[in-house]
């Protein structure tokens, strides 16, 4: 079984609580997020979400992952599969690492596994670019809110 991993990170000059609030406000995600265009469902363990992602230069795709972990202000993690479990699975995660009271390191990553990871790995560079674009947009929004207060 093939395995691949993408991990990106960015430092945000905003407290983890603010970054978490933006990240889990699914209703407003389409207004700022260039990669994850919509999320419906609840950020609770065991819940199923409906997520539309739009990697740069690629066709948008809808997934229905299951939430694996929710640790407010620290971690959100879900597991999704393309078609059937075991073909192309992705465990997506967001980690918030407080640097101090007003700064957070935001880590976004995904562990891919399954029989089709090798043949579909050509899409992974676009996925990485999507993660990076989302990270920058999240940073800009979280830091702009500080200037507005």
Q: What is the pLDDT of residues 19-40, one digit of tens each?
A: 999 999 999 999 999 999 999 9
Contacts of 106 (CB under 8 A, 6+ apart): 9, 10, 11, 12, 19, 94, 95, 96, 97, 135, 138, 139
User: At which residue do the structure tokens 């059937």 appear?
Assistant: 84
Over residues 36-86, the pLDDT tens digits come to 999 999 999 999 999 999 999 999 999 999 999 999 999 999 999 877 787
User: At which residue do the structure tokens 């996925």 appear?
Assistant: 127
> By C-alpha distance, which of 115, 124, 136, 41 is closest to 52?
41
Could you tell me the pTM of the whole model? Answer: 0.91
Instruction: Supply the pLDDT for residue 109.
Output: 97
């Amino acid at each position: 079984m093939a395995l691949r991993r993408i991990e990106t990170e960015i430092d945000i000059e905003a407290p983890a609580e603010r970054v978490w609030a933006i990240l889990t406000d699914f209703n407003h995600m389409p207004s700022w997020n260039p990669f994850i265009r919509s999320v419906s469902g609840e950020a609770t363990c065991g819940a199923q979400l409906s997520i539309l992602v739009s990697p740069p230069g690629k066709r948008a795709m809808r997934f229905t992952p299951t939430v694996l972990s929710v640790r407010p202000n620290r971690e959100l993690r879900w597991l999704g599969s393309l078609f059937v479990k075991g073909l192309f699975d992705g465990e997506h995660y967001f980690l918030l690492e407080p640097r101090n009271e007003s700064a957070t390191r935001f880590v976004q990553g995904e562990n891919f596994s399954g029989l089709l990871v090798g043949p579909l790995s050509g899409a992974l560079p676009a996925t990485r670019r999507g993660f990076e674009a989302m990270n920058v947009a999240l940073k800009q929004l979280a830091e702009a809110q500080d200037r507005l207060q």
